[in-house]
Chain A
């Protein structure tokens, strides 16, 4: 079953279109990266999922049911612009936020204590938030997002401002939550997060969905038949009508590295066959594009219309 199924959602404001006919499918128990430049419409989409605003057109289904007020407790949301009540004590704060999500007070007390213990911060219960450091407050915010055991967790730039140790801690917890059956949506710019954690991604640009799918498939789709070869010997001489040498440099003692882009119909084995006769091969690998490359290519590289045509042809 899909955790979330967004069908043809549009949202217009007076001066601009925030979302234009966007459809997404988020599989259950996935870690789903929602990517896109600032102002692309990610926040609007997340707010629609959280029922903070309503979509003008289209529908959202959550675990097979049409999105409804009763699903508020199903979702845990950590916004990018996040805060806490400064004057309120950590314990009271957690209880209040969990109760607003529909949890009973006794259950909320149980859960919040469990989480504080997990992070080894049980002595914070009576501390006021204004006395906490930023990193400490972030831990409390994370707990408030997940303590009501939501099946769908939406994290908007969760690692911004975290030190590496805390980021590591939170990453572990996120993976643990996924293993326990939660679905996680990341909205982020940080490509290393996407590379390390996400198994599915979608890219939104200028209110439209550009691409969506499993991370591996997306990467495969954007491979450009480029190979990186380490070899001994002289410069490579290849038939220019079939191979294009993009880059070549000498590393040490006769060892060279050459980047070769082959024509689309040439398979890797053919390239190797070609090379074996010409040089002494040290290593050979296909160049897999990073998410950052794909992101930049898609957003910057081409004009919107041309891009869409290109994608339609590719699919």
Chain B
């Protein structure tokens, strides 16, 4: 036991003392917000500084009058289309918009001519402008004024309440649950993959540097394997903790620095400022109560339970796959050689990850979701994706027991391959060879 502890310490220090650890630990949480922030900034800048595009208009219907906007400057041409096309071709303008004679109940025949393919956004923008004008024409035709129309606007939002077996009522919000499941599932997938490969790399390094024979003359191969797996896990946990702290700190201090408020608050203020009629104020009040409801739902989600389940599957999944990665590392002499064994190992993990999008988050209580979250190889990702939606206790218990069982089983299998593999260099390894190693008596 004492020796495992020594190995854990060594593996931990080896990685934590590296400069690259310091760099990735500090930079990763800063890089992503910086990239996203930079891209948004650039796009906003570009949109604001861009000159408006000139659109030539041939309006045969005579029903349109265009006002210039930030995006577009409109030039009306009083000539037939064919002639206009020629004129457009010689100009450097962005587009030629053609509006035929049309029936407002069936607006058809509109066209836009451009020299290069226009962006969807610009086309959408133009379409919106046309639709808006046609809508106005319709309102005139049906003799409806804007006020009547506003009075007709109706929205209904369903309050989602989940009724538990004991009859307890809980507000729920599928969007929120989706988000929670999505983020947690991806975190587990990434952690297992990134640190699993680190284990494999570590084993290969020990094997190729030939230190391993000296080490196994001092400790049992199984102790060496477990020490490495646990040591790397603690590096990962430390790194994750630091990331969460940095992200929390940076995002809150950045928001505070710019004097920004949460988006909902901002929206509410705008609405209050713009509208001052009594009905509108009522609507704002309703909006406020919705925000309160949302916060209430946040409270209703059992975060303590989710956190415990997450940590359990986080470690369980890592340990299970970690042992398999260690076994692969012990069998090969280089990372390149490991490819053929890596794929089958990561396949179930990938299945769990894909099913997160296509099955679990769409239908968290379906039978497919059930099986994926019970089978140990996919359960770490699948169950964590499901957990926020509420999983019956017996399912959770069964899945956890099976995961522990799966972990013990893979570790046992991996340990048997590992103890032989680390001492075998230069052998051509196939699945058959691995099976043979597994069968060798101690």
Could you tell me which A residues sit within 8 Å of B by CB distance? 13-14, 47, 50-52, 54, 56, 72, 75, 77-79, 81-88, 96-97, 99-101, 144
Contact = CB atoms under 8 A, between A and B. Distances in A.
Interface stretch (B58-66, B155-163, B214-222, B363-371): B214-222
Given A75-B217, A85-B211, 5 more contacts: A77-B213, A81-B213, A82-B213, A82-B214, A97-B214
A109 to B, nearest CB: 15
Contacts, number: 60
Nearest to A154: B217
5 A-B pairs closest in CB distance: A83-B210, A100-B218, A83-B209, A50-B217, A79-B213
Given A54-B442, A85-B209, A86-B209, A77 B14 contact: no
Interface of B: 3, 6-7, 10, 14, 18, 205-206, 209-219, 423, 425, 436, 440-442
Given A52-B217, A54-B442, A88-B14, A14 B436 contact: yes
A51 B212 CA distance: 14
A81 B210 contact: yes
A261 B217 CA distance: 49
A96 B18 CA distance: 18
28 contacts: A13-B440, A14-B436, A14-B440, A47-B423, A50-B217, A54-B442, A72-B217, A77-B213, A77-B214, A79-B217, A81-B425, A82-B213, A83-B209, A83-B211, A83-B212, A84-B209, A85-B14, A85-B206, A85-B209, A85-B211, A86-B209, A88-B14, A99-B6, A100-B3, A100-B7, A100-B219, A101-B218, A144-B214
A4 to B, nearest CB: 15
A47 B436 CA distance: 20
Contacts of B10: 96
Contacts of A50: 217
A13 B433 CA distance: 13
Given A81-B210, A82-B210, A83-B209, A56 B215 contact: no
A56 B440 CA distance: 11
Contacts of B212: 83
A79 B212 CA distance: 10
A121 to B, nearest CB: 20
B229 to A, nearest CB: 17
Contacts of A100: 3, 6-7, 215, 218-219
Nearest to A73: B218
B138 to A, nearest CB: 74
Given A14-B436, A54-B442, A77 B217 contact: yes
Nearest to A145: B214
Contacts of B440: 13-14
A131 B365 CA distance: 58
A170 B430 CA distance: 41
A14 B437 CA distance: 10
B23 to A, nearest CB: 16
Contacts of B211: 82-85
A56 to B, nearest CB: 7
Contacts of B219: 100
B14 A52 contact: no
A186 B374 CA distance: 56
A59 B433 CA distance: 29
Contacts of B7: 100
A79 B210 CA distance: 9
Contact of A52 (B205, B209, B213): B213
